[in-house]
Structure 1
Amino acid sequence: MGGFFQQLAKTLADRWISLLVLPGAFFLGAVWVSLALGQADAWNVALLTRQADDGMSTVADLPSGAQALLVVAVLAAASGVGFVVQALAAVTRRVWLGPWPRPFTPIAVARTARRRARWHRLVEERRALEAVNPATRTREQQDRIDTAAHRVTRLAMAEPGRPTWMGDRIHAVESIAYHRYGLDLAYGWSRLWLVVPDPARTELTAAHSAFAAAVATGTWAVPYLLLTVVWWPAVLVAAGIGLTGWARARAAVADLTTLTEATLDLHGRTLAAALGIGDATQETGPLTISEGERITDLVRKGR
Structure 2
Amino acid sequence: MTGFLAELGRRLADRWFTLLVLPGLAYLLVTAAALRLGHSDWHDWRDLWDGFTALTEGTRAADRDALVARTALLILAAVPASAALGALAQSLAAPVERLLTGDWPWTGLAGRLTARRAAAWRAANETYERDDDPAGAARRNAVSLIPPQHPTWLGDRLHTPVVRLSQEYGIDLAVVWPRLWLLLPAPTRDTLTAARTRLDTAFTLGGWALLYAVPAVFWWPAAVIAVVVALTARRKAAPAAEAYAELVESAVDLHLDRLLTRLAEPRPSPQQGRALTERLRRGS
| TM-score, L = length of structure 2 | 0.85
2:53 match: 53
Letter matched to residue 71 of structure 1? I
Q: Verify the 8 A CA contact 1:92 1:218 in the aligned structure 2.
A: yes
2:7 match: 7
TM-aligned CA deviation for residue 78 of structure 1: 1.3
Distance 1:77 1:179, change over 3 A: same
CA distance in 1: counterparts of 2:79 and 2:231, whole angstroms:
27
Q: Indicate which of 255, 259, 268 corresponds to 1:267.
A: 255
Q: Secondary structure at the match of 1:43?
A: coil
Q: Secondary structure at the match of 1:252?
A: helix
Distance 1:32 1:272, change over 3 A: same
Q: Structure 1 runs of 4+ off > 6 angstroms? A: none
Q: Does 1:16 align with 2:10?
A: no
Letter matched to residue 226 of structure 2? A
Q: Does 1:129 align with 2:131?
A: yes
Q: Does 1:247 align with 2:235?
A: yes
2:157 match: 169
Q: Indicate which of 224, 228, 235 corresponds to 2:223.
A: 235
Letter matched to residue 56 of structure 1? T
Letter matched to residue 77 of structure 2? A
1:183 match: 171
Q: Verify the 8 A CA contact 1:24 1:79 in the aligned structure 2.
A: yes
CA distance in 2: counterparts of 1:77 and 1:34, whole angstroms:
17
**Structure 2, unpaired ranges of 5+:** 266-284
1:146 match: 134
CA RMSD between the two structures: 2.0
Letter matched to residue 89 of structure 1? A
CA distance in 2: counterparts of 1:116 and 1:180, whole angstroms:
22
- Structure 1 range deviating more: 46-55 or 258-267: 46-55
- Structure 1 range deviating more: 258-267 or 19-28: 258-267
Aligned length: 261
Letter matched to residue 65 of structure 1? A
TM-aligned CA deviation for residue 11 of structure 1: 3.1
CA distance in 2: counterparts of 1:61 and 1:181, whole angstroms:
72
Q: Verify the 8 A CA contact 2:89 2:205 in the aligned structure 1.
A: no
Q: Verify the 8 A CA contact 1:160 1:171 in the aligned structure 2.
A: no
CA distance in 2: counterparts of 1:66 and 1:236, whole angstroms:
32
User: CA deviation digits over 1:198-233, x for unaligned, max 9?
Assistant: 332222111111111111112101111221111111
Q: Does 1:112 align with 2:114?
A: yes
**Structure 1, unpaired ranges of 5+:** 131-144, 278-303
TM-aligned CA deviation for residue 182 of structure 1: 0.6
Distance 1:149 1:60, change over 3 A: farther
Letter matched to residue 94 of structure 1? R
1:141 match: none
Letter matched to residue 238 of structure 1? A
Q: Verify the 8 A CA contact 1:210 1:252 in the aligned structure 2.
A: yes
CA distance in 1: counterparts of 2:103 and 2:46, whole angstroms:
48
Q: Indicate which of 64, 70, 75 corresponds to 1:71.
A: 75
Q: Indicate which of 204, 210, 220 corresponds to 2:198.
A: 210
Letter matched to residue 38 of structure 1? G
Q: Verify the 8 A CA contact 1:222 1:238 in the aligned structure 2.
A: yes
| TM-score, L = length of structure 1 | 0.80
Q: Secondary structure at the match of 1:42?
A: coil
Q: Indicate which of 38, 62, 65 corresponds to 2:66.
A: 62
Q: Does 1:157 align with 2:152?
A: no
- Structure 1 range deviating more: 196-205 or 49-58: 49-58
